[in-house]
A and B are shown apart, each in its own frame.
Chain A
Amino acid sequence: MDHVAGKPVDPRVTEAMLPYMKSFYGNPSSLHTFGQEARQALEEARTKVAELINAERKESIIFTSGATESNNLAIKGVANRNKDLGTRIITSSIEHMSVVNPYKFLTTKGFEAVFLPVNKYGFLSLENLEKELTEKTVLVSIVYANGEIGTIEPIKEISKIVHSKNAYLHVDATAAAGQVPIDVKNEGIDLLTVSSNDMYGPRGTGALYIKDGIRIEPLVHGGGQERGLRSGTENLPSIVAFGKAAEIAKKEMQAESERLVKLRDKFIQGLLKPIPYSFLNGHPTKRLPDNVSVRYSFIEGESMLLSLDMMGVAASSGSACTAKTLEPSHVLLAIGLKHEEAHGSLMFTLGRQNTEEEVECVTSLMPGIVKRLRAISPLTPKELNQ
């Protein structure tokens, strides 16, 4: 139940991918028949990804090596190409590191980066956005929904504010795309990051939607593939698979999200109700269907993960002890949690294979795990150990 870290590839996706690994090895740039077959497959995949997010045309989709590259391409690409329009760039304090670090990098290149706060649910403060958005602002990058706490941002309202000052809006939809309907036209999104693996496609593939008329600078220079914005021979098997994954996600989204929301809410209830001093991270309803993020006082996340792992359950935590940096998750700190609260967080992300029985199994294990760790902890109030 740690799907945010990695999802299995849907067997139907693997099936669609295989011919392009076995027989169709043409290069889409070649003029001969083999090349043209490859070109057709590439463009069909592009159409499917475009349809998932209601892009105006398939040419608005640029294939990349994944969400990290898409975020880098969008942020550095827009900022560097449009420096004459302004050097102020704005984002939120709950972004993925592939947004945070390009922003920090750009501050070494003459840009002024602003990280806006969020409230306790993780919603961006629109007032603050209005206040910080100046005529010099060239780009605003906001996550569609944060993968750690699941909160879905009011993108349409954000877009109106951003466009009132003629800045561009980039949205990182890595966790959201394929789970909730996204409409770049209706929501007023200028650039959008999507990832293949997050919708049950293979890793190492993603896309960036770029609205018509927006000038961006490429990160990779070379043979001019992908409208010159991402050179290098296209990774056709993975792109075809990504297209299939997007097609399945679009078709099954409504039924699957309804199923997951029910499962999610049952899971959250089961994790919180029987255990005192337990809390939900993020918003109760405006959250991704797959996201279950909770915290327990007086104990630490990694010890919960180890306990679950011993019983065959995979989850993740915002605790420093599970990170490379030894700092708790910046997202959990941004929603106002104290360090020790962030250390006690536990996150499950549900997937297509997870069933009600599995959710019931985990919720039945949790009280015992928490009780045991609380008995070991010196922070636990005496009455809880009786």
Chain B
Amino acid sequence: MYTEKVMEHFKNPRNMGEIPDADGVGTVGNPVCGDLMTIYIKVKDNRLEDIKFKTFGCGSAIATSSMITELAKGKTLGEALKITRANVADSLGGLPPVKMHCSNLAADALHAAIEDYYKKHKDEQGKG
């Protein structure tokens, strides 16, 4: 059902965990639907200096979360915002069709984290 690459990321997820002093946090999904992802980012000079994830969900939910952290780490915020769900699925060698929608939320979680960063950043500028 899953590609070797998916299973490899499921077995050894990269960048799993939390960043306590994250600059941005994005959560998407809902435990009721069976998938919930949180992405934490640390930003330095407009680049993703660090990124971590936590995921409740099936094998592909965990693998896509792991993959997006690999794809995004070190990228500029602009580049990271261009990473799509399809990029994540392709990098994993494809996902079963039924999982393309429900368990491929990682790109959305990353974008939400970056938006969260922008929002906070703007607030800080406003205050200053």
Chain A residues near B (Cβ < 8 Å) = 298-303, 306, 310, 319-321, 324, 326, 328, 338-340, 343, 375-379
What residues on A are CB-neighbors of B128 within 8 Å? none
A379 touching B34 by the CB < 8 A rule?
A: no
A-B contact pairs, 30 of them (CB 8 A): A298-B56, A300-B35, A301-B58, A303-B58, A303-B61, A306-B10, A306-B58, A310-B7, A310-B11, A320-B33, A320-B34, A321-B34, A321-B57, A321-B99, A321-B103, A328-B34, A339-B32, A339-B33, A339-B34, A340-B31, A376-B54, A376-B55, A376-B56, A377-B55, A377-B56, A378-B27, A378-B36, A378-B37, A379-B31, A379-B56
Min CB distance A298 to B, Å, is 7
> Which 10 residue pairs are nearest across A and B when measured between Cβ atoms?
A302-B58, A321-B58, A378-B54, A340-B31, A339-B32, A377-B56, A343-B34, A306-B59, A378-B38, A320-B34
Taking a contact as CB atoms closer than 8 A, the residue among A328, A340, A377 that contacts B54 in the complex is A377
What residues on B are CB-neighbors of A376 within 8 Å? 13, 16, 54-56, 62
| B102 interfacial by beta-carbon distance below 8 Å | yes
Other A-B pairs, 15, CB within 8 Å; known A300-B57, A326-B102: A300-B34, A300-B35, A300-B61, A302-B58, A306-B7, A310-B11, A321-B99, A328-B34, A339-B32, A340-B32, A375-B16, A376-B13, A376-B54, A376-B62, A379-B31
B58 touching A300 by the CB < 8 A rule?
A: yes
What residues on A are CB-neighbors of B2 within 8 Å? 306
What residues on B are CB-neighbors of A299 within 8 Å? 56
Cβ-closest chain B residue relative to A325? B98
A326 touching B57 by the CB < 8 A rule?
A: no
For the complex, what is the distance from the CA of A72 to the CA of B59, rounded to whole Å?
Answer: 36
1/0 contact trace for B94-112 toward A, CB 8 Å?
A: 0000110011000000000
Q: Which of A300, A301, A343, A379 has most chain B Cβ within 10 Å? A: A300
Min CB distance A373 to B, Å, is 8
A326 touching B13 by the CB < 8 A rule?
A: no
For the complex, what is the distance from the CA of A376 to the CA of B12, rounded to whole Å?
Answer: 11
What residues on A are CB-neighbors of B57 within 8 Å? 300, 303, 321
What residues on A are CB-neighbors of B10 within 8 Å? 303, 306
Cβ-closest chain A residue relative to B66? A376
B62 touching A303 by the CB < 8 A rule?
A: yes
For the complex, what is the distance from the CA of A13 to the CA of B2, rounded to whole Å?
Answer: 36
What residues on A are CB-neighbors of B56 within 8 Å? 298-300, 376-379
1/0 contact trace for B1-25 toward A, CB 8 Å?
A: 0100001001101001000000000
Cβ-closest chain A residue relative to B57? A300
For the complex, what is the distance from the CA of A377 to the CA of B58, rounded to whole Å?
Answer: 11
* Contact A326/B98 with A306-B59, A377-B55, A378-B54 known, Cβ cut-off 8 Å: yes
1/0 contact trace for B58-82 toward A, CB 8 Å?
A: 1101100000000000000000000
For the complex, what is the distance from the CA of A298 to the CA of B57, rounded to whole Å?
Answer: 9
What residues on B are CB-neighbors of A298 within 8 Å? 56
Min CB distance B48 to A, Å, is 19
What residues on A are CB-neighbors of B31 within 8 Å? 339-340, 343, 379
A302 touching B59 by the CB < 8 A rule?
A: yes
What residues on A are CB-neighbors of B34 within 8 Å? 300, 319-321, 328, 339-340, 343
B54 touching A303 by the CB < 8 A rule?
A: no
What residues on B are CB-neighbors of A343 within 8 Å? 31, 34
What residues on B are CB-neighbors of A338 within 8 Å? 32
Cβ-closest chain B residue relative to A326? B102
Min CB distance A113 to B, Å, is 27
B58 touching A319 by the CB < 8 A rule?
A: yes
For the complex, what is the distance from the CA of A328 to the CA of B98, rounded to whole Å?
Answer: 14
What residues on A are CB-neighbors of B32 within 8 Å? 338-340
Cβ-closest chain B residue relative to A379? B56
